[in-house]
């Protein structure tokens, strides 16, 4: 059977997806239905303990008891990811609008400024926030020297520091898709709305937002997916006090040596993200119909 030229072009993509996506996913799915080995790894025996641990914990006699610890971590991670995504949208949309309305010769300079953080490793940038937010960091020293506060503020190792780190890390992923949508917008529509005496709010709602919906949906996806499974910001800026799903997965494959539970968390996280993506895409179509 001879393959068409189009199919041949897809073969490298299919090979990469199989090796780096489908194969690890199948391994994680298989591990999630196995029994944990006390020494680490898994035993080749079917078990649902990885999924039961989300809702139940076993006492010394082996009896299952209702346990909501992991549900609280899931809820906290989702809440923090949603808040970080909304913050990125609130900050990123005006920035993208500003960039799109600049003269063409200035837009490249703004693009460079937005992408400069990517020139530095994320680990270094996160450590930089520790230097800024710690008790003797730049923020506290500035407030103390100006007399605004008398004692240093606890700005580090709390959910606000984690959220700030997430927003800082993923804000460009919100700005760039929205800017791409606004840059392609037909600005004559805005001029026509102004000629018809439309207010700025009505122009924003009925002209600008419909044109930027693809960018908003794309930016939301690009920000929400990595933030809900973030590990670095919660580990460094949260100081281990604010565990997210990424930290929980790392702990299960590391210190806890409970690979089935870690694999189950990974599988459920992927399923949760896929469902979220479908809802976001559907909401995006609905939003475009409403604001249009």
CB 174 within 8 A of CB 87: no
| DSSP-assigned beta bridge partners for residue 46 | 34
**Number of Cβ atoms within 10 Å of the Cβ of 259:** 22
**Mean pLDDT, residues 220-249 taken together:** 86
What Å distances lie between residue 100 and 122, 186, 277, CA to CA? Answer: 27, 12, 27
What local confidence, expressed as pLDDT, does residue 68 receive? 84
44, two tokens: 């080749």
**pLDDT of 84:** 94
Q: What is the pLDDT of residue 94?
A: 92
Q: Which residues contact 10 (CB under 8 A, 6 or more apart)?
A: none
Q: What is the mean pLDDT of the chain?
A: 85
Bridge-based pairing state of the strands 42-46 and 56-58: unpaired
Biggest alpha carbon distance in the chain? 79
Between CA 205 and CA 291 the distance in angstroms is 6
Q: How confident is the model at residue 291 (pLDDT cuts 50, 70, 90)?
A: very low
Of the chain, the percentage scoring pLDDT greater than 90 comes to 22
Residue matched to tokens 């909501």: 68
Per domain, the residue ranges of the chain are: 68-291
* Between residues 267 and 3, the one the model is more confident about: 267
**Cβ–Cβ under 8 Å, residues 58 and 49:** no
CB 205 within 8 A of CB 291: yes
Give the residue with greater pLDDT, 283 vs 234.
234
- Torsion angle, alpha carbons of 264, 270, 272, 277, to 10: 180
pLDDT at 82: 92
pLDDT in tens, 59-112: 766 677 888 888 888 888 989 999 999 999 999 999 999 998 888 888 888 888
The confidence score (pLDDT) of residue 88 equals 95
Integer Cα distance of 110 and 95 in angstroms:
10
Q: How confident is the model at residue 285 (pLDDT cuts 50, 70, 90)?
A: low
Task: Identify the pLDDT of residue 34.
Answer: 92
User: What is the mean pLDDT of the segment spanning 207-224?
Assistant: 88
Could you tell me the pLDDT band of residue 26, with boundaries at 50, 70 and 90? very high
Give one DSSP letter per residue of 235-282, joined into a string: HHTSTTSS--HHHHHHHHHTTS--HHHHHHHHHHHHHHHHHHHHHHHH
pLDDT of 205 strictly over 80: yes
Cα–chain center distance at 124: 19
The tokens describing 134, both together, are 């710690």
pLDDT at 65 (0 to 100) = 84
Residue 135 DSSP symbol: T
Q: Which stretches of 44-158 are DSSP H helices?
A: 49-52, 69-100, 104-115, 122-133, 138-145
The tokens for 98 are 């500003």
Q: Provide the CATH number for the domain formed by 68-291 in this structure.
A: 1.10.3720.10
Percent of the chain residues topping a pLDDT of 70: 93
* CA gyration radius, the chain: 24
Q: What pLDDT is recorded for position 171? A: 93
Distance (Å, whole) CA 112 – CA 217:
23
Strands 56-58 and 34-36 come out as: unpaired
**Residue range 188-205: mean pLDDT, rounded:** 82
Q: Give per-residue pLDDT as tens, 147-178.
A: 888 888 888 888 889 999 999 999 999 999 99
Confidence of residue 290 (pLDDT cuts 50, 70, 90): very low
Report the alpha-carbon distance of residue 244 to residue 259 in Å, rounded: 17
């Amino acid at each position: 059977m001879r393959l068409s030229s189009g199919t041949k072009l897809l073969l490298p993509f299919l090979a990469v997806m199989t090796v780096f996506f489908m194969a690890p996913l199948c391994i994680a799915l298989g591990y999630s239905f196995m029994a944990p080995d006390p020494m680490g790894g898994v035993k080749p025996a079917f078990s649902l303990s990885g999924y039961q641990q989300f809702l139940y914990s076993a006492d010394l006699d082996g009896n299952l008891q209702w346990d909501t610890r992991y549900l609280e971590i899931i809820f906290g991670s989702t809440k923090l990811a949603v808040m970080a995504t909304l913050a990125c949208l609130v900050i990123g949309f005006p920035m993208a609008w500003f960039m799109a309305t600049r003269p063409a010769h200035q837009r490249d300079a703004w693009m460079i400024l937005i992408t400069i953080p990517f020139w530095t490793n994320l680990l270094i940038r996160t450590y930089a926030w520790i230097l800024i937010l710690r008790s003797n960091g730049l923020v506290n020293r500035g407030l103390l020297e100006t007399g605004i506060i008398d004692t240093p503020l606890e700005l580090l190792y709390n959910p606000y520091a984690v959220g700030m780190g997430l927003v800082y890390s993923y804000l460009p992923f919100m700005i760039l898709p929205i800017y791409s949508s606004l840059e392609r917008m037909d600005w004559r529509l805005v001029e026509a709305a102004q000629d018809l005496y439309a207010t700025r709010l009505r122009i924003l709602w009925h002209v600008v937002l419909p044109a930027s919906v693809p960018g908003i949906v794309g930016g939301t996806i690009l920000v929400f997916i990595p933030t809900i499974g973030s590990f670095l910001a919660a580990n460094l800026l949260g100081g281990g006090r604010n565990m997210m799903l990424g930290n929980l997965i790392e702990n299960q494959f590391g210190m806890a040596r409970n690979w089935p539970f870690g694999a189950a968390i990974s599988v459920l996280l992927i399923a949760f993200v896929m469902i979220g993506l479908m809802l976001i895409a559907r909401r995006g179509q609905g939003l475009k119909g409403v604001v249009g």
